[in-house]
Homo-oligomer: A and B are copies of this chain.
Amino acid sequence: MQFSAAQIALLIQGKIDGNPDAVVESFGKIEEARSGQLTFLANPKYEDYLYTTEASVVIINAAQELRQIVKSTLIRVPDAYSAFATLLAKYQEIQNQQMVGIQQPSFISDKATLGMHVFVGAFSYISDHVTIGKNVKIYPHVFLGQGVIIGDNTILYPGVRIYHGCKVGENVTIHAGTVIGGDGFGFAPQADGTFKKVPQIGNVVIEDNVEIGSNATIDRATIGSTIIHRGAKLDNLIQIAHNAEIGENTVIAAQTGVSGSTKIGKNVMMGGQAGIVGHITIADGTRINAQSGVTKSVKSPNSAISGSPAFDYTSTLRSQAIFRNLPELEKRIADLEHALRQLLAEKESIS
- Interface, chain A (partner B; CB < 8 A): 27-29, 32, 85, 88-89, 91-92, 103, 105, 107, 121-123, 125, 139-141, 143, 157-159, 161, 163, 173, 175-177, 179, 182-183, 185, 187-188, 193-199, 201, 209, 211, 213-217, 219, 223-224, 231, 233, 235-237, 239, 241, 248-249, 251, 253-255, 257, 259, 266-267, 272-273, 275, 277, 290-291, 293, 308-309, 311, 315, 318-320, 322-327, 329-330, 332-333, 336-337, 339-340, 343-344
Task: Using A187-B233, A322-B329, A343-B343 as known contacts, list a sample of 8 further A-B pairs with CB atoms less than 8 Å apart, ordered by residue number in A.
Answer: A193-B248, A215-B237, A241-B254, A253-B259, A257-B272, A290-B293, A309-B320, A333-B336
Residues in chain B near residue A29, CB distance under 8 A = 223-224
A158 pairs with B125, CB closer than 8 A: yes
CA distance A159 to B163 in the complex (A): 12
Which of B157, B291, B293, B323 is the one whose CB lies under 8 Å from A182?
B157
CA distance A235 to B213 in the complex (A): 19
Given known A85-B199, A329-B330, contact A254–B107 (CB-CB < 8 A): no
A257 pairs with B231, CB closer than 8 A: no
B159 pairs with A141, CB closer than 8 A: yes
A32 pairs with B217, CB closer than 8 A: no
Which of B28, B267, B326 is the one whose CB lies under 8 Å from A322?
B326
Chain A to chain B: the 10 pairs with minimum beta-carbon distance, closest first: A88-B199, A179-B214, A143-B158, A217-B236, A182-B214, A322-B326, A107-B122, A161-B176, A125-B140, A175-B182
A125 pairs with B105, CB closer than 8 A: no
Given known A197-B211, A311-B324, contact A239–B254 (CB-CB < 8 A): yes
CA distance A245 to B163 in the complex (A): 30
A237 pairs with B213, CB closer than 8 A: no
Q: List 19 A-B contacts (CB under 8 A).
A: A28-B223, A85-B198, A121-B125, A122-B125, A176-B182, A182-B214, A187-B233, A193-B249, A194-B231, A197-B211, A219-B236, A237-B257, A255-B255, A257-B273, A318-B327, A322-B327, A323-B323, A323-B326, A336-B336
Residues in chain B near residue A122, CB distance under 8 A = 107, 125
CA distance A290 to B176 in the complex (A): 27
- Which residue of chain B lies nearest to A332 when distances are taken between CB atoms in the complex? B333
Q: How far is the CB of A260 from chain B (nearest CB, A)?
A: 10
Residues in chain B near residue A105, CB distance under 8 A = 105
Which of B233, B293, B339 is the one whose CB lies under 8 Å from A340?
B339
Q: How far is the CB of A49 from chain B (nearest CB, A)?
A: 13
CA distance A217 to B239 in the complex (A): 14
CA distance A315 to B320 in the complex (A): 13
CA distance A92 to B197 in the complex (A): 12
Residues in chain B near residue A325, CB distance under 8 A = 319
CA distance A121 to B139 in the complex (A): 18
Residues in chain B near residue A209, CB distance under 8 A = 194
- Which residue of chain B lies nearest to A221 when distances are taken between CB atoms in the complex? B29
Which of B143, B199, B233, B254 is the one whose CB lies under 8 Å from A140?
B143
Residues in chain B near residue A241, CB distance under 8 A = 254
Residues in chain B near residue A254, CB distance under 8 A = 185, 217, 239, 241, 257, 259
Residues in chain B near residue A198, CB distance under 8 A = 85
B163 pairs with A176, CB closer than 8 A: yes
Given known A213-B217, A215-B179, A323-B323, contact A123–B103 (CB-CB < 8 A): no
